Structure 1
């Protein structure tokens, strides 16, 4: 199926996960009981709403097919279906990670891989 989902995460938090080999979630994920992801078409709005002006972020691409039924697409913002992971994220499911800098206009600059 080739499902790719994305996580926007502070670099320091991600580095901690890299050391342990698993990402257990950001504070909001731990609070909600699942790891919040976005699809490619949802990433920019997620960054605008939840990470406005924040620097030193990473965009992490994840193989959504690695999780089976633990990855659920559930209604959220405006009824749009967002990917939620009801498990921890092992580093071997990560496809790539890229810096997510803030541009002069205050919006994040996304890598070419995310159309």
Structure 2
């Protein structure tokens, strides 16, 4: 029996990335996303590990909660860190799919 995937996931953005996202209304990805060909997201239980591994020591971060259902077929759950399945978006992230944000200092 497989466990269904959660309906939301999280994108960690720098303050500059968030400001550009707000201006454009669409996010095409951070440099790592563009290099890999998809936008990296984390499920709720993966978020702290992603922060620790990729954003340690950074301030002004914004965590955007993303409605995965709004993105439809562009979301793929794929094996990543430690063999866990992570949500990836193959395409841009529209602001309409962001349910809310919170800042990290």
TM-score normalised by L of structure 1: 0.85
Structure 1 partner of 2:71: 67
For 2:48, what is the secondary structure of its paired residue? helix
How many residues are aligned here? 101
Residues 36-65 of structure 1: CA deviation (Å, up to 9, x unaligned): 000000000000000001001001101011
Aligned ranges for residues 25-104 of structure 1 at < 5 Å?
A: 25-101=29-105
Two-structure CA RMSD over aligned residues (Å): 1.2
For 1:78, what is the secondary structure of its paired residue? helix
Gaps of 5+ in 1: 102-115
Structure 2 partner of 1:108: none
**CA–CA distance in structure 2, aligned partners of residues 77 and 83 of structure 1:** 12
Whose helix fraction is larger, Structure 1's or Structure 2's?
A: 2
Give the Å deviation of 1:11.
Answer: 1.2
**CA–CA distance in structure 1, aligned partners of residues 21 and 75 of structure 2:** 19
For 1:38, what is the secondary structure of its paired residue? coil
Contact 1:2 1:65 in 2 (8 A): no
Q: Which runs of 4+ in 1 moved over 4 A?
A: none
